[in-house]
Amino acid sequence: MSAETPDERTAWDRTLEEATEMASDLRHKNWEVTVVRAGHVAAVAPDSGTELSGLIHIAPDDTGADLQSFLERGSLDQYSIYRRTIGRNLFLVTRISDPESRLAVILVGTVDLDRARPLAEQAHTREEIQLHVRLLDGTHLATFYHENPEHIFPEER
């Protein structure tokens, strides 16, 4: 495991603060919000031979019931991506929402850009990326489809 630089620690703290503020703002507008703070985000390319591909958010065990309830009550098909890059780390806050039901899921995590390169390249080719939420024990909770991978991985021009 590599040591975090002060800039990376600050970026992670700022990312968590921004996700918390986003959730608080939505709650003040009478939305129901669940925040999924991923302990790890794996970037798995479609040609990796694994069951799932995309960004796989590994979530705490207490995430399951809230997220399942949201999926049963809303379409959760609108999304906004907020990102910051520090060194080789991409810090992400992804808001997935259903304005009609006033439900929002906020995914928070960080991705190693060096390890994500194969996924990013294939996502640009396919013009889609999947975001998954799994528990540590491997239980799959949700899959969200994002039609514009450039929001997550901007192509270098």
Q: What is the pLDDT of residue 155?
A: 67
Please tell me the predicted confidence (pLDDT) of residue 50.
81
Confidence (pLDDT) at 157: 33
Burial code of 9-46, b = ≥16 C-beta within 10 A, e = fewer? eebbeebeebbeebbeebeeeebbbbbbbbeebbbbbb
pLDDT in tens, 40-89: 999 999 887 788 899 999 998 888 888 999 999 989 999 999 999 999 99
- Coil, helix or strand for 115? helix
Percent of the chain residues topping a pLDDT of 90: 71
pLDDT at residue 62, rounded to an integer: 86
Residue 2 pLDDT: 45
Q: Residue 5: what pLDDT?
A: 56
Tell me the pLDDT of the chain averaged across its residues.
90
Average pLDDT for 123-138: 93
**Is the Cβ–Cβ distance between 33 and 26 less than 8 Å?**
yes
Local structure of residue 64 (DSSP, 8 states) = H
- Average pLDDT on 130-139 reads 93
| 18 half-sphere exposure, CB direction, 13 A CA radius | 18
With CA atoms as reference, report the closest residue to 90 among 53, 115, 122: 115
- pLDDT tens digits, 5-27: 555 568 899 999 999 999 999 99
The amino acid at 20? T
pLDDT at 1: 37
- What is the pLDDT at residue 156? 52
Alpha-carbon span 123 to 129, nearest angstrom? 5
pLDDT at 65: 84
Cβ–Cβ < 8 Å for 96, 144: yes
